[in-house]
Amino acid sequence: MEIKTLAKNTMILASPKVLKFLVGILRAKLIAVFLGLTGAGIINQLQTTIRQIATFTLTSLPEGMIKLIAEENGIKIDIEKIAKIIKTYLTILIPLTLLVTFSGYIFADEITLYVFGDIKFKLYFQIGFVALPISILSTSSFALLKAFKEIKFIAYAEVLIILLNLILFIPLIYFYKITGAVIYVTLTFFITFFVYYSFMKKNVFKKHNITFKSIRKAIISVKYMKELGAFMGFGLVAGTYFIFMEITTRSIVVNELGIKKLGVYAPITAWASLFIGFILPSLNTYLFPRLSEAKNDKDITAVVNDVVRLMTFATLPFVIIGISTREWLIPLFYSKDFMEASVYLPFHFSALLFTIWTFSFKQIFAPTGRLKKFLIFAIINHSLSLGLVYFLVPKLGLFGYLSKFTITPVFTAIVFYLFWKNEIKFKLKKENIKVVLYAILCVILLLLMRDIQIYLQLLAVVLLLPLFFLLKKEEKDYFLKKIKRN
């Protein structure tokens, strides 16, 4: 059954992400204690900026490579074709990486002012930006592991990365404060690269007899160049606009409210990102090649139904617990200086359900060759987010920034559902409609009771109990079997 395969692979990949989640909470507490609101805002901005520029540089090329390899992987893997794909991929990526890296240093002053709001943070940006090419290469190694569905080894690599990063983080932040944290951000990208590269070399290259010599000798394929070019064209347009939107929205908050306000919001984005960061990438690692192999619309509909169901059951408990316990979690894992975040967290967390539903529908576009249509949706989506922040932040403060994380995902989830309903006759199964409606009911009740803590926590317990009874019989059996086995 597809949902069992999805659950199995997601659980394998989510396990190290749970460790990352716990380590992330510890790291957030240390940042709050040693760096305060300003330090939290700076580190958050730096990490986001480097990741977004790396994403822009990659221009969806890794997804293109994964799709090509997934299509070529049959009963017997054609090493010559795989080498051609990798050679063609690197031929495009390396010049692009060099161009963006040099541009970043040339325009360092302008980027620093735009991102941090003050030129005094230029050195921090330059230290962080050293890691950009390494971050891009790291993503390429990860993409090859993902293309060959080496799920277990991706999980092992992530556990190792988390532990090494934690060992590095504590002394750097304790002895060197903000400067140490900035150096840590840079070094984490290097650690990630070396770990992913080591696992990729052993479990992809060595396992399938792929060598650097065979890649170097491979002929650049015009066919693969065109396909990767399509992904690149999409990524370049969507990526450029997304980077502009993301940096601009954060810049609006910094310029209108100050970087401390961005620090206030840090617990919310951190916790949401920690959860989304272990659920969605874990799922995507299996789902992208799986959808690339899908034979027809019926097959796609079945897979996405299972994804919606699995992700709703995984996300709803996190949303319920996060909203109901926020008043004591924030001072426990951050400090009392961050308590203002508790005002915005219920709304942000409620919208996470719509974020995961949007993700489920979004995954269909690239594997099925609908990149141009997705580009249109992406531009509309990012424009809406930018417009909301631009008009509402000056009037509503952080509530205006919150609108980007609430209104946009709700709008996008509804639009994507209607699009796929028309495009591939997508339908949610009856049992999944019940789960989705129950999730929405939970969100409404939690928001209504958000300021009455005693009743809110009681309500949380009441809302969690019915989840087990919404499971189908075979899902209950599978779940209970897993519990007994452990």
Mean pLDDT of 432-437: 93
CB 262 within 8 Å of CB 44: yes
In a shared domain, residues 421 and 476:
yes
The CA distance from 90 to 212, in Å, is 12
Domain end among 173, 205, 240: 240
In a shared domain, residues 11 and 132:
no
Mean pLDDT of 96-118: 87
Say yes or no to pLDDT of 418 above 90: yes
Q: What angle separates helix 222-257 from helix 79-106, to the nearest 10 degrees? A: 30
Identify whether 177 is part of a domain.
Answer: yes
Say yes or no to pLDDT of 2 above 60: no
In a shared domain, residues 273 and 219:
no
Identify whether 250 is part of a domain.
Answer: no
Task: Give the model confidence (pLDDT) of 226-251 as tens digits.
Answer: 888 877 877 777 777 777 787 788 78
Identify whether 130 is part of a domain.
Answer: yes
Task: Give the model confidence (pLDDT) of 314-328 as tens digits.
Answer: 889 989 998 998 888
Say yes or no to pLDDT of 213 above 80: yes
Q: What is the pLDDT of residue 277?
A: 64
Q: What is the pLDDT of residue 14?
A: 62
Confidence at 72, pLDDT banded by 50, 70, 90: confident
Q: What is the pLDDT of residue 258?
A: 81
Task: Give the model confidence (pLDDT) of 458-480 as tens digits.
Answer: 999 999 988 888 887 777 676 66
Identify whether 121 is part of a domain.
Answer: yes
Confidence at 1, pLDDT banded by 50, 70, 90: very low
Identify whether 461 is part of a domain.
Answer: yes
Mean pLDDT of 161-182: 90
In a shared domain, residues 87 and 154:
yes
In a shared domain, residues 19 and 116:
no
Identify whether 171 is part of a domain.
Answer: yes
DSSP annotation string for 132-193: HHHHHHHHHHHHHHHHTT-HHHHHHHHHHHHHHHHHHHHHHHHHHHHHHHHHHHHHHHHHHH
The CA distance from 58 to 64, in Å, is 10
Task: Name the average pLDDT for the chain.
Answer: 84
CB 29 within 8 Å of CB 334: yes
Q: What angle separates helix 132-147 from helix 151-200, to the nearest 10 degrees? A: 130
Mean pLDDT of 117-140: 88
In a shared domain, residues 207 and 268:
no
Mean pLDDT of 350-361: 91
Q: What is the pLDDT of residue 262?
A: 76
The CA distance from 281 to 269, in Å, is 16
Domain end among 240, 266, 286: 240
CA 147 to chain centre: 18
Q: What angle separates helix 151-200 from helix 2-34, to the nearest 10 degrees? A: 60
The CA distance from 299 to 78, in Å, is 26
In a shared domain, residues 28 and 41:
no
The CA distance from 397 to 232, in Å, is 37
Mean pLDDT of 382-397: 92
Give the residue numbers spanning the domain of 144: 37-240
Nearest to 292 by CA among 117, 87, 146: 146
Q: Where are the alpha helices (DSSP H) in 294-370?
A: 297-324, 326-333, 341-350, 352-362
Say yes or no to pLDDT of 125 above 60: yes
In a shared domain, residues 472 and 359:
yes
In a shared domain, residues 218 and 286:
no
Domain count, the chain: 2
Q: pTM value?
A: 0.68
The CA distance from 284 to 66, in Å, is 12
In a shared domain, residues 205 and 59:
yes
Domain end among 240, 267, 285: 240
Identify whether 183 is part of a domain.
Answer: yes
Judged by DSSP in three states, 471 sits in coil
Nearest to 203 by CA among 159, 265, 156: 156
Identify whether 41 is part of a domain.
Answer: yes
Q: What is the pLDDT of residue 248?
A: 84
The CA distance from 273 to 151, in Å, is 21
In a shared domain, residues 293 and 368:
yes
Confidence at 348, pLDDT banded by 50, 70, 90: very high
Confidence at 7, pLDDT banded by 50, 70, 90: low
Q: What is the pLDDT of residue 384?
A: 93
Task: Give the model confidence (pLDDT) of 421-430 as tens digits.
Answer: 999 899 999 9
The CA distance from 384 to 381, in Å, is 5
In a shared domain, residues 30 and 44:
no
